[in-house]
Amino acid sequence: MNQLTVAGSAPLTMTSAEIGELVESRHDSVKRTIERLAERGVIQLPPLVDVPNHLGQTVSVYQLEKRDSLVVVAQLSPEFTARIVDRWQELEAQQAPALPATYLDALRAHLASEEKAAALAIEVQKKEQALAEAAPKVEFVERYVQASSGALGFRQVCKTLCLNEKWLAEFLELHQVMYRLAGKLTPYQQHIQAGRFEVKTGVSDGGYGYVQPKFTPKGVQWLAAEIAKHHAAKQMKALAA
């Protein structure tokens, strides 16, 4: 009798399979009785759901609420009505919250509730702290933007934001900010159009053409924020694990 459903405040249900066990009838006979009663309008046709049985196989069962399950049992085997009444009492007792038997029990329950609320508050505080620690350290970047209108090369950006060059290169490629062209990092066109890069082209003294992308002040500030979001997401994922 493991197919009873207790789901918080949701309606209690009993499956056609369990009714078959209670009244010692075949499950297919119970299902036919349910369908005949529904056709006659005596009960509503209950939902049909798939559940695993004791053999690990999937079987389709009807889920009935209390009134309709009593009607079905009365139709199948009236002498077993007492069994299903007893079973419903067990089910309803499982759903009903247990009241404290003594003042000490009530006090313990109150303390447990307070401890749970305190633990939740600490968890929220930890997450807020993690977000604050992962927030973009843009104060320096903002000062740089205000003090300079110049653009920065890749290595200058790494120094400005205190980043490892290899890590930043992988980050830019992974997030489709830049890609490799002839072994050199080159910004995607949408980021150039967004004003995050300026690209200089020319010919070297040796007669070779070159492309030199640089981060604009706006691009440096945007990148700092994107990196901060990345770290914040990792912190939240770690806390949730």
pLDDT at residue 107, rounded to an integer = 65
Cα Dmax for the chain: 105
Q: Which of 79-88, 176-185, 212-221 has the lowest mean pLDDT?
A: 79-88
Residue 34 pLDDT more than 70? yes
pLDDT at residue 4, rounded to an integer = 46
Nearest CA to 16 out of 28, 8, 2 is that of 28
- The stretch 44-62 carries a mean pLDDT of 87
- The stretch 136-148 carries a mean pLDDT of 53
pLDDT at residue 30, rounded to an integer = 92
pTM above 0.75, yes or no: no
> Are the C-beta atoms of 26 and 83 separated by less than 8 Å?
no
Query: Rounded to whole angstroms, what are the CA distances from 120 to 8, 114, 129, 131, 191?
Result: 21, 10, 14, 17, 41
Residue 57 pLDDT more than 80? yes
- The stretch 10-16 carries a mean pLDDT of 82
Query: Rounded to whole angstroms, what are the CA distances from 161 to 29, 155, 196, 221?
Result: 74, 10, 16, 10
CA 192-195-201 angle, to 5 degrees, is 50
**Both structure tokens of 61:** 């069962």
pLDDT at residue 97, rounded to an integer = 61
pLDDT at residue 110, rounded to an integer = 65
pLDDT at residue 7, rounded to an integer = 40
Domain boundaries, the chain: 14-95, 99-133, 135-240
Identify the top-confidence range among 118-127, 179-188, 231-240.
Answer: 179-188
Q: Which of 42-46, 106-110, 160-164, 199-203 has the lowest mean pLDDT?
A: 106-110
- The stretch 114-123 carries a mean pLDDT of 74
pLDDT at residue 5, rounded to an integer = 46
Average pLDDT score over the chain:
78
Residue 63 pLDDT more than 80? yes
- Integer distance in angstroms from the first to the last C-alpha of the chain? 35
How far is 202 from 179, CA to CA, in rounded Å?
A: 20
Residue 175 pLDDT more than 80? yes
Percent residues over pLDDT 90 in the chain = 22
